[in-house]
Chain A
Amino acid sequence: MLPDAGAGPRGTDETVLAVDDLRVDFETFDGLAQVLNGVSMRVGQGQRVGLVGESGCGKSVTMRAIMGILAAPPARIAGRIVFEGRDLLTMARRPRTALKGSAMSMVFQDPMTSLNPVFRIGEQLTDIVRWADRRHGLRRGAPERKARILETLRQVRLPDPERIFEAYPIQLSGGMRQRVLIAMALLNRPRFLIADEPGTALDVTTQDEILRLLNDLVQQERLALLMITHNLGVVRETTDYTYVMYAGSIVEEGTTAEVFAAPAHPYTRALFACVPKLSGDRAYRGIEGTLPDYTDPPLGCRFHTRCQHATERCLERPPAFALGGDHRCSCWLSDPAGGQA
Chain B
Amino acid sequence: MTGDERLLTVRDVHKRFPVRRGLFQRVTSHVRAVDGVSLDVHRGEIFGLAGESGSGKSTLARIVVGLDDASSGSIRFAGEDVAGIRRTTEFRRRVQMVFQNPGSSLNPRRSIEQSLAVPLRFLGVPPSEWMARIVGLLEMVELPAAFRVKYPYELSGGQKQRVAIARALAVQPQLIVLDEPTSALDVSVQAKIIELLVRLRNELRLSYLFISHDLSLMRNFTSRIGIMYLGRLCEVGFTNDVFSEPKHPYTQGLIAAVPVVSDEEAALKPKVERLHGEIPSPANVPSGCSFRTRCGLVYEGCEIEDPEFRRVGFEHDVRCRLFEDEARS
- Find out whether the CB atom of A209 lies under 8 angstroms from the CB atom of B189: no
A260 touches B188 (CB 8 A): no
State the CA gap A278–B269 with chains docked (Å): 8
Is the CB of A119 closer than 8 A to any CB of chain B? no
Can you list 10 contacts pairing A with B, beta carbon distance less than 8 Å? Answer: A204-B258, A207-B259, A209-B274, A233-B216, A275-B261, A276-B194, A276-B219, A282-B220, A284-B191, A290-B156
Q: Is A122 an interface residue, CB under 8 A from the partner?
A: no
Q: How far is the CA of A272 from the CA of B219 in the complex (A)?
A: 17
Q: Is residue B265 contacting chain A, with contact meaning CB distance below 8 A? A: yes
B253 within 8 A of partner (CB): yes
Q: Is A206 part of the contact surface with B, judged by Cβ < 8 Å?
A: yes
Residue of B nearest to A229 (CB): B259
Please pick, from A205, A207, A232, A280, the residue contacting B220 in the complex, using a CB distance under 8 A: A280
**Is B52 interfacial (CB 8 A cutoff)?**
yes
Residues on A lying within 8 angstroms of B by beta carbon are 54-55, 173-176, 203-209, 211-212, 230-234, 236-237, 260, 270-282, 284-287, 290
Q: How far is the CB of A216 from chain B (nearest CB, A)?
A: 13
For residue A306, give the distance in angstroms from its CB to the closest CB of chain B: 9
How many A-B pairs have beta carbons closer than 8 Å: the answer is 120
> Nearest chain B CB to A13's CB is how many angstroms away?
33
CB 8 Å contact bits of B251-277 with A (1 = contact, 0 = none): 001110111111011001100001110
B125 part of interface (Cβ distance < 8 Å): no
B16 contacts partner chain A, Cβ-Cβ < 8 Å: no
Other A-B pairs, 19, CB within 8 Å; known A54-B188, A277-B220 = A173-B278, A174-B53, A204-B215, A204-B254, A205-B52, A208-B274, A232-B187, A233-B261, A236-B259, A236-B260, A236-B262, A260-B261, A271-B187, A274-B188, A276-B216, A276-B219, A278-B260, A281-B220, A286-B190
The answer to whether B257 touches A233, judged by C-beta atoms less than 8 angstroms apart, is no
B53 interface neighbour in A55, A203, A272, A276, Cβ under 8 Å: A203
Give residues of chain B (14-61) contacting chain A, Cβ–Cβ below 8 Å: 52-53
CB distance from B282 to the nearest CB of A (A): 13
Interface string of B228-269 (1 = CB under 8 A from A): 000000000001100100000000011101111110110011
Instruction: Let me know if B189 and A286 touch, CB within 8 A.
Output: yes
CA distance A206 to B214 in the complex (A): 13
Task: Give the distance in Å from the alpha carbon of A274 to the alpha carbon of B261 in the complex.
Answer: 11
* In the assembled complex, B217 has its CB within 8 A of some CB on chain A: yes
Nearest 5 interchain pairs by C-beta = A233-B259, A286-B192, A286-B191, A203-B52, A287-B188
Q: Which of A207, A209, A273, A275 has the most CB of B within 10 A?
A: A275
Decide: A205 and B254 in contact? CB cutoff 8 A: yes
Residues of B within 8 A of A (CB): 52-53, 156, 186-192, 194-195, 213-217, 219-221, 239-240, 243, 253-255, 257-262, 264-265, 268-269, 274-276, 278-279
Most B Cβ at <10 Å: residue of A230, A285, A286: A286
For B214, the closest partner residue in chain A by CB is: A276
| Residue ID in chain B nearest A281 by CB atoms | B220
B278 touches A278 (CB 8 A): no
Contact assessment for A285 and B191 in the assembled complex, using a CB-CB cutoff below 8 Å: yes
Cβ-defined contact, A208 with B217, below 8 A = no
Contacts of A174 in B (CB 8 A): 53, 278
Report the minimum CB–CB distance from B301 to chain A (whole Å). 25
Determine if B261 and A54 form an interchain contact, defined as CB atoms under 8 angstroms apart: no
Instruction: Find the residue from B221, B243, B257, B274 having the highest chain A CB count within 10 A.
Output: B257
Contact indicator A274/B156 (Cβ below 8 Å): no
Note all chain A residues with C-beta closer than 8 A to B275: 205, 208
A203 CA to B276 CA, complexed, in Å: 12
- Cα of A312 to Cα of B280 in the assembled complex, Å: 58
**Which chain A positions have C-beta within 8 A of B259?**
204, 207-208, 211, 231, 233-234, 236-237
| A208-B274, A277-B220, A280-B219 given; A286·B258 CB < 8 A | no
CA distance A204 to B259 in the complex (A): 8
- B268 contacts which of A211, A232, A236, A278 (Cβ < 8 Å)? A278
Give Cα distance in the complex from A232 to B265, angstroms: 13
Measured CB to CB, the closest approach of chain A to B35, in angstroms, equals 19
Distance A237 CA – B213 CA, assembled complex (angstroms)? 19
B173 CB, nearest partner CB in chain A, Å: 25
| Assembly CA distance A36 to B186 (angstroms) | 20
B199 to chain A, nearest CB (A): 12
Complex contact B220–A233 (CB within 8 A): no
- Closest B residue to A211 by beta carbon equals B259
Contact B188–A278 (Cβ < 8 Å) = no
- Say whether B186 contacts A54, CB under 8 Å: yes
Residues of B within 8 A of A209 (CB): 274, 276
Question: Which residues of B lie under 8 Å from residue A204 when comparing CB positions?
Answer: 52, 213, 215, 254, 257-259
Q: Given A278-B219, A278-B260, A203–B213 Cβ distance below 8 Å?
A: yes
* B213–A277 touching, CB < 8 Å: no
- Contact: A275 with B216, CB < 8 Å? yes
Does the CB pair A55–B268 fall under 8 Å? no
Q: Which of A173, A273, A274, A281 contacts B190 (CB 8 A)?
A: A274
B265: chain A residues at CB < 8 Å are 277-279
Contact A278 B216, beta carbon cutoff 8 Å: yes
- B216 near A205 with CB under 8 A, answer no
